[in-house]
Amino acid sequence: MLDRKPTEVLPSWSDTTTCVSWLQTSDIPAAVVLQCYSPGGQVIQCCGHGLMAASHAWMGRLGQQALTLFMQGSRVESWQSGEETWLRFSALEMQACEVPVWVRDLLSVPSNPVSAACSGGSSGYMVLQWPDGFDLRSLTPPNETLANYTQRALICTAARPEVADGAIELRYFAPQYGVMEDAATGSAMRVLAAYWSSRFDCLLAHQCSSSGGRLRSRWAPNYVEVGGLCVTTKAVTLNGE
């Protein structure tokens, strides 16, 4: 969290996503600009959990209940609702696609997904859906060889109707961009809200990463809202300590 735009590239930390943010001088009150980097140092075009964490931190610092966030030219509205932080994104388009033949071998899974869809350009997202109740923990995370098959990040998902209506699980892999497996992925929830919209308007998602993440979403034809509970665990100074 900076008072102004940095004049030089700040240090990054190899084990986590780094989000640099600063107040924007404009006619928009409480406007914050973000630049987020993967653990590998690559610029992230849309970092949902970075936006959510930065919003949580800045609202606490400014004493505000709402903020306008800017990342890579995109504008995202954010607000506090109870203890949860929420983001509003423009809606994404999903296009159904064939389940790739390489999925079963690459993820070392006994059964193929039942459907697949893509969003964004060639470096966007691919959603792979398994049958209801499928244990996503059985998937083996792909390594950098995923780039030999696609430049898309993989979002693996399955519904869990025994938990609740709209309950799903997900895992997120993007080793091409320095993210072997993400812990909690707000941008993936933006995609999944659109993907599951024919079945659910609201999602309650558990991300099956090692640390685990819980996020919610609400879908509307023109926008998607993604929310979750943010907890400040530690402060990091600019020298990385």
Contacts of 31 (CB under 8 A, 6+ apart): 23, 24, 67, 68, 69, 70
Per-residue confidence at 110, pLDDT binned at 50, 70, 90? confident
Give CA angle at 178 (45, 41), nearest 5°: 65
Phi and psi angles of residue 103, each rounded to the nearest 5 degrees, phi first = -60, -45
> What are the phi and psi torsion angles at 191 (to 5°)?
-70, -45
Look up residue 84 and give its amino acid: E
Domains of the chain, residue spans: 18-81, 95-227
Under a CB-based contact definition with an 8 Å cutoff, are residues 154 and 126 in contact? yes
In this prediction, residue 241 has a pLDDT band, given cuts at 50, 70 and 90, of very low
Determine the topology of domain 95-227 in CATH.
Diaminopimelate Epimerase; Chain A, domain 1 (3.10.310)
- What is the band of 25 on the pLDDT scale with cuts at 50, 70, 90? confident
Over residues 47-70, the mean pLDDT reads 92
Torsion angles phi and psi, residue 62, rounded to 5: -90, -10
- Token look-up 């024919």 returns 198
Q: Do domains 18-81 and 95-227 have the same CATH topology?
A: yes
| pLDDT above 70: residue 14 | no
Q: pLDDT category, 12, cuts 50, 70, 90?
A: low
**CATH (residue range 18-81):** 3.10.310.10
pLDDT band with cut points at 50, 70 and 90 for residue 171: very high
The secondary structure element, H or E, covering residue 112 is none
pLDDT tier, 11 (very low <50, low <70, confident <90, very high otherwise): low
Number of H helices, E strands in the chain: 3, 13
Q: Which helix (H) or strand (E) holds 157?
A: strand 153-159
Residue 234 pLDDT greater than 80, yes or no = no
State what percent of residues in the chain have pLDDT above 70. 94
pLDDT at 240: 46
Mean predicted confidence (pLDDT) in 6-26? 76
Check whether 224 has a pLDDT greater than 80.
yes
pLDDT surpassing 60 at residue 238: no
Supply the pTM of this predicted model: 0.89
Indicate the average pLDDT of the chain.
89
**Cross-strand pairs, 157:** 129, 170
Query: Residue 127 above 60 pLDDT?
Result: yes
Q: What is the pLDDT of residues 185-213, one digit of tens each?
A: 899 999 999 999 999 999 999 999 888 88
Task: Report d(CA 241, CA 236) in Å as an integer.
Answer: 6
Token couple for 229: 């509970």
Element (H, E) at 194: helix 186-195
